[in-house]
Structure 1
Amino acid sequence: MTTLGVIFLPDRPPEALVPAARAAEAAGLDQLWLWEDCFCEGGVASAALALGATSRIAVGLGVMPVPLRNVALTAMEVATLERVHPGRLVAGLGHGVQDWMDQVGARAASPLTLLREYTEALRSLLAGEEVSVSGRHVRLEGVRLAWPPAGPVALHLAGEGPRTLDLVGELGDGLVVPGGYTPQRLHEVVQRVRRAAEAAGRERAPEVTVFLPCAFGPDAEGLLATHRERHGAAADGPPTEVWGDAEAVAAGVRRYAEAGADAVALQPMGDVDLDRFAAAAGEVRALVAD
């Protein structure tokens, strides 16, 4: 069965998050995903709010920009959330939008090297190991968490370039794919990641989560047109979104699942009522679970 979730977009105010998280859980969804966009809600704080307001649903943090966060601090925060809400946090890491990283003076000379060093160090810290490393970007001396998680924490990486995808296959437990992908393009990405995982001698390929823009109801086509115009997409271009009633959206979700998505997070198009969006997404989940 394809894991199905929804996304709480950072263009919504922070005070809307808790009601949205509860609505997603009430609708029977598997996941709620958050974005840490500069300079909106803090991702870890938001994840803590969503986890604390719910009891079952997984909360995906997709993704934390690694140039912005010292790896020891990320380990402390992820470990705290995992200990309090075991098995419910999906920790995502990424390069960060480079223009934003420039704005805060955090741009890395080699984002790929940073992501590799960061992922390796974070995994070791979360495993309770004492870590000393002197890399190009990550430097730690005798660092050990006082309160590591009881079990392993899956680290999901984001990226679109070929070398980043190869790194995901080598090191990541998951791949986070942004919106804007056709099923065919997603299939090509999944195959590359799987080849990289096989080349690294891994028994399991990373789990793939795709963010999928979505609109429900009679206004769906209007929301779709506005979304495409806002993102500079051709009105008659190949579909990278799903829209319509629950049956139509479920059919679209199945196409992405067939292309290799293990999880799909529906991304609202437009300023829609989040309770209604979550309820409609719950109907889709029931259909794709059949």
Structure 2
Amino acid sequence: MSLSRDGLTFSARISSHEGVRPLAAKATFVEEAGFDQVWIGNDLFGEPGLVSLAAIAMSTERIRFGSAVIDPVSLHPAQIAMLASGLQDLSGDRFLLGLGAGSDVFYSWAGLTPPGPVVRTREAVIAIRALMNGESPLGLPGVADGWTEQAVLRFARPAPIYVGAMGPRMLEMTGRLGDGALPLCLPPRHVYGVIEQITAGAGKAGRSIDDIDVAACIWCSISEDRDEARWLLAKHIALYSGSLSVEALASNGLDPEEFAHTQALMLEGREDDAIRSVSASMLELGIVGGPTEVIDQCAALIDAGVDHISFGPPMGPDSMTSVKILGEAVFPALRASI
């Protein structure tokens, strides 16, 4: 399900450590660059994403914007439905509600002990959709206990629900229940397996994958200076080298030992050596290079059936310059090719 007129959707995942106003200004720049969607984070103890979403709603005119992602543990599903309905009203129905399980590490800091990730996310998706449709979740299959018939929003306004999904069970659940999916696809070709798992879930619910907007959420580093772009992606990979699933790396033809070596160098404080240790195969975790190279790599995804590419950190040496290059050089070429 593509949300753009030509069948392709391009989105940006942005952040700002400078506050709400700079983030809203970035979103405006992303809109002017020609993106279809912009997504911002909302981690517990992180940036004030909910405030930023309201600021983006008021500072942009066309672009759809979303939360990547709100968790249903630190914020009750009824509150999420209320906020989503309000953001839809404020923006003229441009808001996309990104939901996810959240981090058990962050929950532990707050003394929270929720149900398992798939269960809490599934229960939230079902309840929030009912609430945004002006109904009570009471009695719906798969919803948590405790709702009553009085649990109805005073001001309800539906919004598409995207699920931040990684593992097989979450992806299958997304296929059954989600309007969209926000899987982190590392490397980009991992999206093919993701689509297969979501398709399977959709089939179990009598749905089609065409009804679900699956965003290929990739790391992208683009610059007119090809070497600079590659160095920045290598730095990003080095920083996350110890956080990546060994199983996921191996299943995508990458060598976990290479990442372990890079992580060891990082732990020794040898960051430059760690960055230099990132091999060409390790760089396959993202899309990298100058405009022509990025066009070719994105075109390969589109040719294989991907119709939504979501560009995320590191973006490039200067993220807004990279946004401009994508909008001016990459998107027109890709759209002209379909």
Structure-2-length-normalised TM-score = 0.78
CA contact (8 A) 2:98 2:163 kept: yes
The reply on whether 1:188 has 2:193 as its aligned counterpart is yes
Give 1:111 deviation, angstroms. Answer: 2.2
Say if 2:132 is the partner of 1:126. Answer: yes
Q: CA deviation at 1:11?
A: 4.5
> Does the alignment pair 1:5 with 2:5?
no
> 2:205 aligned to 200, 204, 214, which one?
200
Task: For 2:38, give the aligned amino acid.
Answer: L
Q: Counterparts of 2:19 and 2:185 in 1: how far apart (Å)?
A: 21
Aligned with residue 230 of structure 2, among 209, 215, 221: 221
| Secondary structure, counterpart of 1:251 in structure 2 | helix
Report if the CA contact (8 A) 1:190-1:260 is conserved.
no
Instruction: Say yes or no: does 1:148 pair with 2:193.
Output: no
* 1:93 is the counterpart of 2:99: yes
Say if 2:295 is the partner of 1:286.
no
Deviates more, 1:220-229 or 1:249-258: 249-258
Q: Secondary structure at the match of 2:221?
A: strand
The C-alpha deviation readout for 1:138-190, integer Å capped at 9, x for no partner, is 532211111111xx42111112121111111111111111252331x210110
* Deviation >6 Å, runs of 4+: none
Contact 2:126 2:143 in 1 (8 A): no
RMSD: 2.2
* Bigger Rg over Cα: 2
Residues 3 and 263 in structure 1, CA contact (< 8 A), matched pair in contact too: yes
Tell me the equivalent position of 2:175. Answer: 169
What CA distance in whole angstroms lies between the structure 2 residues aligned with 1:67 and 1:248? 41
Question: Quick one: percent identity of the two aligned structures?
Answer: 25
Q: Deviations over 1:175-224 (max 9, x none)?
A: 111252331x2101101111211121124442101222112221101112
Change beyond 3 A, Cα 1:28–1:153: same
- Which 10-residue stretch deviates more, 159-168 or 38-47? 38-47
> Which runs of no fewer than 5 residues in structure 1 stay unpaired?
none
Asked if 2 retains the 8 angstrom alpha-carbon contact of 1:113 and 1:136, the reply is: no
Q: Please state if 1:139 is matched with 2:146.
A: yes
TM norm structure 1: 0.90
Distance in 2 separating the partners of 1:177 and 1:215: 19
Distance 1:191 1:258 in 2: 16
**CA gap 1:42/1:107 in 2 versus in 1, 3 angstroms:** farther
Equivalent residue of 1:266, what SS? strand
Which of 16, 22, 29 does residue 23 from structure 1 map onto?
A: 29
More deviation, 188-197/13-22: 13-22
Secondary structure (helix, strand or coil) at the match of 1:132 reads: coil
Equivalent residue for 1:46, pick from 49, 52, 77: 52
Give the 3 Å change call, closer, same or farther, for CA 169–56 of structure 1 in structure 2.
Answer: same
Alignment match, 2:75: 69
Is 1:116 paired with 2:125?
no
1:37 positional shift = 2.3
Separation (CA, whole Å) in 1 of partners of 2:164 and 2:15: 17
Q: Could you say what secondary structure the match of 1:50 adopts?
A: helix
Of residues 37, 40, 54, the one that matches 2:43 is 37
Deviations 1:72-95 (A, max 9, x none): 100110000112213311111111
Structure 1 residues 13 and 113, CA gap change in structure 2 (3 angstroms): same
Q: 5 Å matches for 1:228-243?
A: 228-232=237-241, 233=259, 235-236=278-279, 237-238=281-282, 239-243=284-288
* 1:262 alignment partner in structure 2: 307
Deviations 1:205-253 (A, max 9, x none): 4210122211222110111221111111462235121122222212222
Q: Name the SS of the counterpart of 2:182 in structure 1.
A: strand
Alpha-carbon distance change, 12 to 211 in structure 1, aligned in 2, over 3 angstroms: farther
Q: SS state of the match for residue 296, structure 2?
A: helix
Instruction: Please tell me the residue identity of whatever aligns with 2:155.
Output: W
Q: Deviations over 1:43-75 (max 9, x none)?
A: 221111112111001112111122221011001
SS at match of 1:139: coil
- Conservation of the 8 A alpha-carbon contact between 2:127 and 2:143: no
Contact 1:198 1:205 in 2 (8 A): no
> Relative to total residues, which structure has the larger strand share, 1 or 2?
1
Report which of the two has the higher share of helix.
2
Say which SS state the counterpart of residue 306 (structure 2) adopts: coil
